[in-house]
Amino acid sequence: MSVTGPRLQPTLFERSRAERGGGKIPHPPKDALSGIPAHQLRGDAPGLPEINEVEVVRHYVNLSQLNFAVDTGFYPLGSCTMKFNPKLNEWAARLPGFAGAHPLAPDEAVQGTLQLLWELQGILAEVTGMRAVSLQPAAGAQGELTGILMIRAYHRSREDRERSEVLVPDSAHGTNPATASMAGYRTVSIPSARDGGVDVEAFRSALGPRTAAVMITNPSTLGLFERRIGELLEAVHEAGALAYMDGANLNAILGRFKPGEAGFDVMHLNTHKTFSTPHGGGGPGAGPVGVGELLEPFLPVPRVIRDDDGSFRLERAGERPTSIGRMRSFVGSTGVLVRAYAYLRAHGAEGLREVTDDAVLAANYLKHRLATDGSYDIPFEQACKHEFVASAAGIKKRTGVRTLDIAKRLIDHGFHPPTIYFPLTVEEGMLVEPTETESLETLDAFADALIEIAHEAGSEPAVVTGAPHTAPVRRLDEATAARQPNLRWRPMTGRQMPCPD
Amino acid sequence: MPYGPHTPADREQMLAALGLTSVDQLFEDIPEALRASPLGLPAAEPELELAARLSALAGRNRADLASFLGAGVYRHWSPPAVDQILLRGEWYTAYTPYQPEVSQGTLQSIYEYESLLAELTGLDVVSASHYDGAAATAEAALMTCRATHRDRVLVSRAVHPQYRETLATYFSGGLSLEELPLVAQGELAGTTDLAALERSLSDADRPVAGVVLGQPNFLGLLEPMAEAARLAHEAGALFVAVCEPVSLGVLAPPGAYGADIAAGEGQPLGIPPQYGGPYLGILACTEPLVRQIPGRLVGMTTDLEGRRAFVMTLRAREQDIRRDKAASNICTNQALLALAASVYLAVIGPHGLRDVAALGAARARELEKALVAAGAHRAHDAAFLNEFAVRVPNARLVHRRLLERGVLAGLVLEDVLPDEDDLRDTLLVCATEVTTPAEIARFATALEEALSGRPPVAVEAGAGAAGAASPGRRG
């Protein structure tokens, strides 16, 4: 489409016409492949589409316009921190010196990148109150696995082989228990206390000689600071276990709480949440890990080192034999880390504290607006941090309209829905995270929309349950998609399926 | 704060609504004893100054080198259309498409990526992306264990050493990983020893879940994939091919030689090297394995009005649904890099991709000829596509000497494979379609000079002066 016309697009494969495209690469000499035995060569050319550049560009520009994005509107997705992605960062990561650097180039040829990474290690250690940082993990979940594998290596280094369990509160991100399983541990799920916080007594009774680690998200996935975190950390350490902090909610505590100082042994942070690196439609992220003294020897390789002469280098193979090893290839997702570095330097200490202050103020303001109106239940009334849970349980009871419907109706108002049905502990919950980069006008407009939809649920429920009405597509048939998966284009598929509008 | 919209009046209005006088009151739930010490960080930097700082750092990297370094990351021509599409905010500032009605762009692009990679690999199921080639290979190996209910995986020593190290880390939770040796001598030297594979597979008490080989392998050589796949299958094991996607423009695809799973690094598909990532982990499998594959999958469906649309599906494999029973803990993936690969493939096309691979192969053969003429020897006899190892006396020293002359002479193999005796004094070098005849000549000339018989000590002592006088510019 452009401004008018059909919005949905044919697939790349439907756009293909034989002999279109080309002109990018010189033709190779005829005998280019004469050194390759015939049985190693492919029989037919791969069935890739043949399209000329203008069609490819229109395809992707038109497809892009079917997406909601931070650059198009408010994205209050709880636990995801969809803040603005500064454009300077995109520019910086594309500087030829950064973008062209080969990860196996000799250290002396990549001093600029190594210096940046070394400085970033230090900045992140300061922000988290940790002793040392590894930039290697490719995402938060990989940071979690890194942390739990380090904890495993720590216990093993002490010949402590009985520890087989990881304790996780029931409000945790799904990645926490999944990580524990990947590291060979059994997950023990601990119910939350009535105020939404960790139930320290329940933890105490579950802690013991079998406990390897406790994984805590602080502030919790309900957006609440764990007031009893000090007691809990003491109990964890008394039991000989170590404490992992899921840093997904770091945006709420910059300059206010340093997990390392408080006694956490290890944490990951998500640069794509807290430090503004873009989410990319699902990735990439980066999940650096910070550790205290106990776990420093086990950090993955390689770290970036500054030698006495002021030059920078990667740790060499075998230099730190206690390391758990490598989590992925090369030093890390450097292109993402360049963006995070730019963000951190743009803010400095004061700016980072302001980020947190404004994010928390915005969340409390939005929560207050909904609480004052009263259409939605606010299960936890105390001050929240950067996000809060609202519930449509009352609306559902009164009108039959569910949280899912309200979320879909928000789309018609021009907003991305918040995270819904997470954490699993709140009935008809929605987790709202406004971030610090949304204006007061936007916050008010969003609150107005939610309230209007709540009224609409009473007066015209069908409009809400049928939403969205203005998006490129209506609600989807997810059941058929799962029952008869169609996961790739085949020439026949197009004929069986209805054409795009 | 550089990117925040709130004026002092806005903040006051919000605080007043909350009945507060200071934002500090919102942080009273943090116990006093646990409040943070002041952040010891440099002051905020205005954009103009920060841009200068970043430019200066980027400028400290050497961008002037004639590079023959590959080893898993390859320089290619990426048509500018790729990055210009990626710079659209609708792509890069969107989140995971959990709300399909407002994410059809991302969802269709992932479906198309799955389809494009299915064509390339010859396998029907392709995950939406993994972190990189190493993590995808580790996930592939874990898949073989889940699918066969066995816990022993064999990996060739000619699989990228960093992928093997990653595998070892992922397997440290209790699974067993063994390495397959390489043929030491003769025509097949440097490829995986199939006799050793057969022996390892024949241990009935310790059945094997999966066998992992690279194609081309880390040394650039072509492996006997079909035979290895057959041996694996005869023992009830699954076969994993670690492949390089550009090579699949000309080489037999994993599906054609019996691979059950393909893993690989998608960086060559239009993604810059950027010192290690973000890259694109490719993971593909046959249809019977669809419920074992980790990571997001997008499928085609219809909406309420019967219009074709796309949606994430088979979600019961994933961590947010299955928690500790999930196939993997992966959540954030590399969607934007999968988009880059798709745009690259769409712009380059099937014939273009073949040309990229074949021209790289032609340049590599020119490189081989030039280096042999300059006094190096190939380290192995087996066929290669665009990367190969050469034997050079004092390889490490020669590598340094050439760097001073503006030539990045590939990788010193004993730095990354210290345990392979056969690889002392060898360099792993590659060429691609962007390698020019002039660069090849520069490499050969510099190598010839370095090998011209002066003793190593003299070479080192003279290196600075020679470097300064050479045409190679310093960064």
Residue A425 tokens read as 């502990």
- Give A495's pLDDT tier (boundaries 50, 70, 90): very low
* Closest by CA position to B307, among listed A480, A471, A501: A501
Is the model's pLDDT at A53 over the cut of 90? yes
Contact assignment for B328 to A272 by CB distance below 8 Å:
no
CA distance B105 to chain A (A): 4
How high does pLDDT run on average in chain A? Answer: 95
Average pLDDT, integer, range A114-137 = 98
The Cα B41–Cα B338 span in angstroms is: 36
* CA A473 to chain centroid: 26
Query: Edge-to-edge strands of the sheet including A388-391?
Result: A388-391, A429-432, A419-420
The Cα A285–Cα A137 span in angstroms is: 9
Residues of chain B in contact with residue A385, where contact means CB-CB under 8 angstroms, are 26
Average pLDDT, integer, range B307-315 = 95
Contact assignment for A138 to B55 by CB distance below 8 Å:
no
Omega of the bond prior to A300 within 30 degrees of 0, cis? no
- Per-residue burial over A33-48, b if 16 or more Cβ lie within 10 Å, else e, is beebeeebebeeebbb
Is the model's pLDDT at B475 over the cut of 90? no
Interface mutation target, options B45, B324, B348, B415, chain A, most CBs of A under 10 Å? B324
pLDDT attached to residue A500: 41
C-alpha triplet A130, A87, A115: angle, nearest 5° = 40
The Cα A222–Cα A195 span in angstroms is: 10
pLDDT attached to residue A496: 45
C-beta atoms surrounding B52 within 10 Å: 11
CB nearest B272 (choices: A37, A99, A152):
A99
Interface mutation target, options B11, B13, B39, chain A, most CBs of A under 10 Å? B39
pLDDT attached to residue B317: 86
List, in order, residues 6 or more apart from B434 with CB less than 8 Å away.
B75, B76, B77
B10 interfaces chain A, CB cutoff of 8 Å: yes
Contact assignment for A488 to B38 by CB distance below 8 Å:
no
Burial (0-12, 13-18, 19+ Cβ within 10 Å), B80: exposed
The Cα A266–Cα A174 span in angstroms is: 19
* Closest by CA position to B388, among listed B262, B243, B221: B221
pLDDT attached to residue B453: 58
Average pLDDT, integer, range B339-349 = 98
* Closest by CA position to A250, among listed A434, A83, A127: A127
Contact assignment for B43 to A348 by CB distance below 8 Å:
yes
Residues of chain B in contact with residue A260, where contact means CB-CB under 8 angstroms, are none
Is the model's pLDDT at B312 over the cut of 60? yes
Average pLDDT, integer, range B51-78 = 97
pLDDT attached to residue B474: 36
B32 interfaces chain A, CB cutoff of 8 Å: no
Is the model's pLDDT at B377 over the cut of 60? yes
Is the model's pLDDT at B224 over the cut of 60? yes
CA distance B270 to chain A (A): 12
Average pLDDT, integer, range B406-413 = 98
What count of Cα atoms within 13 Å lies in the side-chain half-sphere of residue B212? 33
Contact assignment for A42 to B330 by CB distance below 8 Å:
no
B16 interfaces chain A, CB cutoff of 8 Å: no
Average pLDDT, integer, range A213-231 = 96
pLDDT attached to residue B174: 85
* Encoded amino acid at B411, one letter: L
Give B 186-225 residues with CB within 8 A of chain A.
222
The tens digit of pLDDT for each residue in B244-303 reads: 999 999 999 999 999 999 999 999 999 999 999 999 999 999 999 999 999 999 999 999
Residues of chain B in contact with residue A472, where contact means CB-CB under 8 angstroms, are 101-102, 104
pLDDT attached to residue A501: 40
Contact B84, A379 (CB under 8 A): no
The tens digit of pLDDT for each residue in A11-41 reads: 999 999 999 998 999 999 999 999 999 999 9
Say what the pTM is. Answer: 0.96
The Cα A54–Cα A59 span in angstroms is: 8
The Cα B139–Cα B170 span in angstroms is: 8
Q: Count interface pairs A-B at CB distance under 8 A.
A: 708
Is the model's pLDDT at A497 over the cut of 90? no
Contact assignment for A284 to B332 by CB distance below 8 Å:
yes
B146 interfaces chain A, CB cutoff of 8 Å: no
Residues pairing with A363 in the sheet = none
Nearest CA in chain A to B161: A329
The Cα A145–Cα A180 span in angstroms is: 7
The Cα B54–Cα A348 span in angstroms is: 15
CB nearest A67 (choices: B91, B170, B411):
B91
Residue B255 tokens read as 């599906």
B340 interfaces chain A, CB cutoff of 8 Å: no
Q: What Å distances lie between residue B91 and A80, A297, A405, B85, B111, CA to CA? A: 17, 39, 26, 8, 15
pLDDT attached to residue A2: 57
CB nearest B346 (choices: A12, A95, A440):
A12
CA distance B58 to chain A (A): 4
Average pLDDT, integer, range B192-214 = 97
Residues pairing with B311 in the sheet = B299
Kindly report which listed range (A1-5, A219-223, A278-282) carries the lowest average pLDDT score. A1-5
DSSP code per residue over B84-104: HHHT-HHHHT----SSGGGBH
Nearest CA in chain B to A362: B14
- Grouping H, G, I as helix, E, B as strand and the rest as coil, residue B407 is strand
B415 interfaces chain A, CB cutoff of 8 Å: yes
The single-letter DSSP state of residue A143 is H
Contact assignment for A488 to B96 by CB distance below 8 Å:
no
Contact assignment for B362 to A360 by CB distance below 8 Å:
no
Contact assignment for A334 to B276 by CB distance below 8 Å:
yes
The tens digit of pLDDT for each residue in A7-19 reads: 999 999 999 999 9
The tens digit of pLDDT for each residue in A64-82 reads: 999 999 999 999 999 999 9
By percentage, how much of chain A surpasses pLDDT 70?
Answer: 97
pLDDT attached to residue B62: 97
- Give B322's pLDDT tier (boundaries 50, 70, 90): confident
Interface mutation target, options A24, A57, A216, chain B, most CBs of B under 10 Å? A24
Contact assignment for B411 to A104 by CB distance below 8 Å:
yes
How high does pLDDT run on average in chain B? Answer: 94
The Cα A34–Cα A37 span in angstroms is: 8
Contact assignment for A326 to B125 by CB distance below 8 Å:
no
* Closest by CA position to A488, among listed B364, B70, B113, B77: B113
CB nearest A140 (choices: B71, B226, B331):
B331
Burial (0-12, 13-18, 19+ Cβ within 10 Å), B20: middle
Strand positions, DSSP E, A241-381: 242-247, 266-269, 289-291, 304-306, 312-314
Nearest CA in chain B to A32: B362
The Cα B440–Cα B446 span in angstroms is: 10
